[in-house]
Chain A
Amino acid sequence: GQQVMQIPQYQHVQEGEDFTTYCNSSTTLSNIQWYKQRPGGHPVFLIQLVKSGEVKKQKRLTFQFGEAKKNSSLHITATQTTDVGTYFCAVPSNAGGTSYGKLTFGQGTILTVHP
């Protein structure tokens, strides 16, 4: 099955600093999704990337899909305390799988923001 590595595992930042988490795959991906889980909560879908080199923005969040479709990043500009949580990438479990079937999740990056 598909595997994806996510780094770093933990990130501590001061409020206002930037934050980036990365996902890497050894195989070409058809798409990648990003989820956020607040402390004590459940994962919530943020965005899906499909195209090579795609960049999408949601306010202070910037998501990028690599040109080779083997890696992706999530960048948060000027973090706020509301950004605290765990950020997961997720990829189709089967090579060439659709966005809406079985997913393999990265280990997640736990973001702590110090006010």
Chain B
Amino acid sequence: NAGVTQTPKFQVLKTGQSMTLQCAQDMNHNSMYWYRQDPGMGLRLIYYSASEGTTDKGEVPNGYNVSRLNKREFSLRLESAAPSQTSVYFCASSGYQPQHFGDGTRLSIL
């Protein structure tokens, strides 16, 4: 039982490059979330999806796009990476229970 799986675990990009962070959950949860975590800032919500087919902006959506591909998968895309997007990214999911988090993606943008 994997829970929430994120890929990749580490990534280094150059400014201006694009990439997609993948997230999949096997708990049949309706809701999925993308957070970024920066020192001293806690966890800030980027985007979330309350159910399959719906997405909505969170606190810090600028520079990101998301796709809820199906009930299991929720991807986060950086179209043109900037150094300010260097962070640890967490995906989470929830149903009628608290949020379960993936192991995170550590992303550095040079």
* A residues lining the B interface (CB < 8 Å): 1, 6, 9, 33, 41-45, 48, 88, 93, 99-108
* B residues lining the A interface (CB < 8 Å): 31, 33, 35, 40-45, 48, 50, 58-59, 90, 92, 94-104
Question: Is A88 a contact partner of B42 (Cβ separation < 8 A)?
Answer: yes
Question: Is A88 a contact partner of B43 (Cβ separation < 8 A)?
Answer: yes
Contacts of B95 in A (CB 8 A): 100
From A44, A101, A105, B42 is in contact (CB under 8 Å) with: A105
Question: Is A45 a contact partner of B43 (Cβ separation < 8 A)?
Answer: no
Smallest Cβ distance from B25 to chain A, in angstroms?
Answer: 13
CA of A9 to CA of B42, assembled, Å: 10
Question: Is A108 a contact partner of B42 (Cβ separation < 8 A)?
Answer: yes
From B31, B40, B48, B96, A9 is in contact (CB under 8 Å) with: B40
Contacts of B97 in A (CB 8 A): 100
Given contacts A1-B59, A44-B101, A101-B31, contact A106 B94 (CB under 8 A): no
